[in-house]
Structure 1
Amino acid sequence: MSDSTVRALLLEQIHPDAEEILHSAGFVVERVDRALDEDELVSRMRDVTLLGIRSKTQVTRRVLDAAPRLVAIGAFCIGTNQIDLVAASEAGVTVFNAPFSNTRSVVELAIAEIIAMTRRLTEKNALMHAGVWDKSADGAHEVRGRTLGIVGYGNIGTQLSVLAEGLGMRVLFFDTADRLALGNARRSLSLKELLAESDVVTLHVDGRAANENFFGDADFATMRPGSLFLNLSRGFVVDYAALRAHIERGHVAGAAVDVFPVEPKGRGDEFVSELRGLPNVILTPHIGGSTEEAQQDIGRFVAGKFRDFVRDGSTAMSVNVPSLALPRPEGTLRLILLHRNVPGVLARVNGLLAEHGVNVEAQLLGTRGDFGYVVTDSASGVTQTIVDEIRGMPETVRLRVIF
């Protein structure tokens, strides 16, 4: 694959720096500043080599079947649950995301919303705009001394933990994985224990299918009376009808929600939710990571992954194939083989090369689940016959040749 044939399709208002990086690498770039539905995407995929999306575009098996030249997908966000990762791997398509770039932006929004709800700023603001002067301390509190319960102690949860402690909050966290507590944060042995002790509960869980309906009526009932709730993770993990009921009863004193089970496709489209119109409820349109700084960092990070993957086959930090990065000696041809992870594949490849008198300059193998990834460099001797033989192996998923 030569760089001049690489065509990138970037959707959903990906930062212009991504386009600039890809242009500088010699790739052809097309932008569409909105999400595409499945039919629209299928109609555009035949000549696409690199696909860049955010959270709204769904990459299904049908989309992948319509994309014979596609080699990589970039999720210009944290989550990848909008991509059929199994189908992508089976099609030999490498998937990248940006797991760290918008962490700070999400954390700062969470902190801002905790303070806003604790001081009931949205209600004061609405009254002022209605011409009502309501100078009162009723229901307004400091965050200092209050207990923050963080559900999901990954990249976002840990950074939130540190900043919350800086504000004088006591921090509890619950995670199914074994996580190191930062600062004075304390691990709760169960979700129920965390909910019963926290003044503010915030969700930062991932988008795996098992987390659907993770938080519901029983969990809201376990929360302390008058506590606050935040969800800046995934819309489908919370029963929002149950949240509304607990707010209306006064058991939950406020909520901040940035993600929803069904979200409008484009800017300006109607937003429908059972949470509209409730007091001390902050609703934001999935903007946790939508700062100019975060989007620029994400654009640069994922575009850089695209460039390095096309040029050198680097899969560092890929979410679905083995993560490898091997420096490429000058003057070498590189064979990149994604294959089924069964015994003997590397031996067969090297046997074919040896039969044809090809000397291996460098080689690296990595495996991940059902798939293996082999990068092989040679100074000379690789012929089309060798390429065809490797490509014809029953274990081969995809073979790329980089000159």
Structure 2
Amino acid sequence: MAEKKLTSYPKEKINILFLENISDVAISRFSEAGYVNVKKLTGAVSNDELIKAIKDVHILGIRSKTQITREVLDAAKKLQAIGCFCIGVNQVDLNAATENGVVVFNAPYSNTRSVAELVIGASILLVRKIIDKNKAAHEGGWLKDASGSHELRGKTIGIIGYGNIGSQVSVLAEALGMKVLFYDAETKLPLGNAHDSKTLKELLKNSDIVTLHVPEIKSTENLINKNNLAHFRKGAILINYARGTVVDIPALRKAILSGQIGGAAIDVFPVEPEKNGDRFESELQGLPNVLLTPHIGGSTQEAQSNIGVDVSNKLFNYLEKGISTGSHTLPALALPPQEGTHRILHIHKNVPGVLSQVNTLLGQNNINIVGQYLKTNDDIGYVVLDVEKVLSKNAMELLKGIKETIKVRMLY
């Protein structure tokens, strides 16, 4: 629970907009903390709709569908922070957010277990060919046959991307008696008896099941393409619970129809419907031993609750204490409170001389700095100033006048 501290801007005047049916846990935490102007919408909204809606919003909460463009951020004059209640932040124009002094938080670890469990579950369904047997049973058929049906025990799972989710899959798979290979662009310490494959080709050639857990970046676009599909063991299983752009879907379709790939579980797609009820189409529909799910890898009640708590806490810490730990835009600062002071947050372009200007201006106006904290990245400088309460309003105006200033806020 966030501390109910007073801020210079009354909590009842802080406008919060949550989109995409964010967990009620987050809504409750904000309400309990004294933030009463919380509006929740069940779906994503268009770019034009968001530009109109965001004008007076201070805190925005989204999931993975809403696209936060430069146009949206430029229109959000009062916006202090964006909470991405999901793993990624690729739906936000981070450069534009940085330039506008908007903090962006997410929850990179909160649904790790949910995704990892589903990967194991999908693996069992696919190696047993349950997908086709289930379909036949619903249609009145009876496919009681052990042909092509296998146990996971003793099989090799190849994990591409050995981060938070990939390593958790590794632990669960080994507990089921599987051999574990992994490949990552960075050197990672193996867990248990997992083995680090030196090349992607080596992993593909030696895996019965290949599961993807990589980010959506240029180097991972169509990572699983026609050429790499040819390196899979014949009849191997492919699982993608990462990003839709990582797999070349037309190439995968051909590999499944030819028998090169024995089955697939795909949860993410290059193009996805904007909301429930919209029509979904994929070239993988109707293929044998293929499990298609609507981007629900991390969609469990437990994961959504954890995400709600995690992102809410980060937003509280920034709103009420100026703590930016976990931000993708501002440099990370975590700092203790100073008794008997006003705290001022100053976000500025990272160019030489700004801190000197801050100190000179305040010194010339007899404003005593009790505490000062500075952190920079390539583009942005973030200064937290604790000043004596006398003349603090004057300090705000002086800081706003510095040419490189992006945003100034009196915290308390």
Give the TM-score taking structure 1 as reference length.
0.97
Q: What is the one-letter code of the residue matched to 1:31?
A: K
Whether contact under 8 Å (1:81, 1:208) holds in the other structure is no
Whether contact under 8 Å (1:9, 1:29) holds in the other structure is yes
- Measured against aligned partners, the alpha-carbon deviations of 1:162-209 in whole angstroms (never above 9, x if no partner) come to 111111111111111121111111111111111111111111001234
Separation in 2, partners of 1:41, 1:222: 45
Superposition RMSD on alpha carbons, in Å? 1.3
Separation in 2, partners of 1:348, 1:381: 20
Q: What is the one-letter code of the residue matched to 1:14?
A: I
Separation in 2, partners of 1:67, 1:210: 32
Partner of 1:144: 153
Whether contact under 8 Å (1:324, 1:366) holds in the other structure is yes
Q: Is 1:401 aligned with 2:410? A: yes
Q: What is the one-letter code of the residue matched to 1:174?
A: Y
Whether contact under 8 Å (2:362, 2:398) holds in the other structure is no
Q: What is the one-letter code of the residue matched to 1:227?
A: A
SS in 2 for 1:201: strand
Whether contact under 8 Å (2:357, 2:402) holds in the other structure is no
Cα deviation for residue 271 of structure 1 reads 0.7
Whether contact under 8 Å (2:350, 2:376) holds in the other structure is yes
Aligned pair partner of 1:311 in 312, 316, 320: 320
Partner of 2:10: 2
Q: Is 1:293 aligned with 2:295? A: no
Q: Is 1:24 aligned with 2:47? A: no
Q: Which moved more, 1:259-268 or 1:100-109?
A: 259-268
SS in 2 for 1:390: helix
Separation in 2, partners of 1:113, 1:371: 43
Cα deviation for residue 155 of structure 1 reads 0.5
Gaps of 5+ in 1: none
- Measured against aligned partners, the alpha-carbon deviations of 1:277-311 in whole angstroms (never above 9, x if no partner) come to 01100000000010000001101111121122111
Partner of 1:225: 234
Q: How many residue pairs end up in the alignment?
A: 403
Q: Is 1:255 aligned with 2:264? A: yes
Separation in 2, partners of 1:255, 1:241: 13
Q: Is 1:37 aligned with 2:42? A: no
Gaps of 5+ in 2: 1-8
Whether contact under 8 Å (1:356, 1:381) holds in the other structure is no
Q: What is the one-letter code of the residue matched to 1:395?
A: E
Separation in 2, partners of 1:257, 1:188: 24
Q: How does 1:54-203 map to 2 (within 5 A)?
A: 54-203=63-212
Aligned pair partner of 2:335 in 326, 351, 362: 326
Separation in 1, partners of 2:378, 2:13: 31
Q: Which moved more, 1:215-224 or 1:84-93?
A: 215-224
- Measured against aligned partners, the alpha-carbon deviations of 1:219-239 in whole angstroms (never above 9, x if no partner) come to 111111010001101101211
Partner of 1:13: 21
Give the TM-score taking structure 2 as reference length.
0.95
Q: Is 1:284 aligned with 2:305? A: no
Partner of 2:6: none
Q: Is 1:216 aligned with 2:231? A: no
Q: What is the one-letter code of the residue matched to 1:51?
A: L
Separation in 2, partners of 1:6, 1:56: 24
SS in 2 for 1:222: coil
Q: What is the one-letter code of the residue matched to 1:344?
A: G
- Measured against aligned partners, the alpha-carbon deviations of 1:45-86 in whole angstroms (never above 9, x if no partner) come to 110111111011000001111110011011100011110000
Separation in 1, partners of 2:381, 2:316: 21
